[in-house]
C-alpha cells in the first residue's frame, strides 16, 4: 500500500482511502453524516472497511448526531 493514498479524517481520526471520499479531509462516513455526501457501503474485515479503510471510529459529535437521528 502506498501511504499517499491514505489520509486521516479530521473529524473521527480514522485513516481512510482518499479515493473513497468526496472530501479530502473527511472519511466517507463523516462526509456523509456532516455534509450529505454519498457514503461507502462498508464491509469490515480485520477491523477495517475493505472499500474505504475506515476503522469505525466516531467522534463524540458524530455519535450525538447519530443518536439524535
First to last CA, the chain: 36
**Domain residue limits, the chain:** 3-68
What was the pLDDT predicted at 68?
87
**Residues 18-32 pLDDT 10s:** 999 999 999 999 999
Cα separations in angstroms, 44 against 36, 40, 41, 64, 65: 22, 11, 10, 23, 22
Give the global pTM.
0.90
Number of residues written out for the chain: 69
Residue 66's pLDDT band, with cuts at 50, 70 and 90, is: confident
Residue whose entry in the numeric block shows the C-alpha cell 502506498: 2
**Residues 5-60 pLDDT 10s:** 999 999 999 999 999 999 999 999 999 999 999 999 999 999 999 999 999 999 99
Amino acid at each position: 500500500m502506498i501511504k499517499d493514498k491514505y489520509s486521516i479524517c479530521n473529524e473521527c481520526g480514522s485513516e481512510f482511502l482518499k479515493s473513497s471520499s468526496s472530501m479530502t479531509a473527511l472519511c466517507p462516513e463523516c462526509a456523509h453524516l456532516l455534509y450529505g455526501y454519498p457514503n461507502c457501503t462498508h464491509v469490515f474485515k480485520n477491523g477495517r472497511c475493505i472499500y474505504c479503510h475506515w476503522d469505525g471510529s466516531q467522534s463524540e459529535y458524530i455519535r450525538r448526531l447519530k443518536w439524535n437521528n
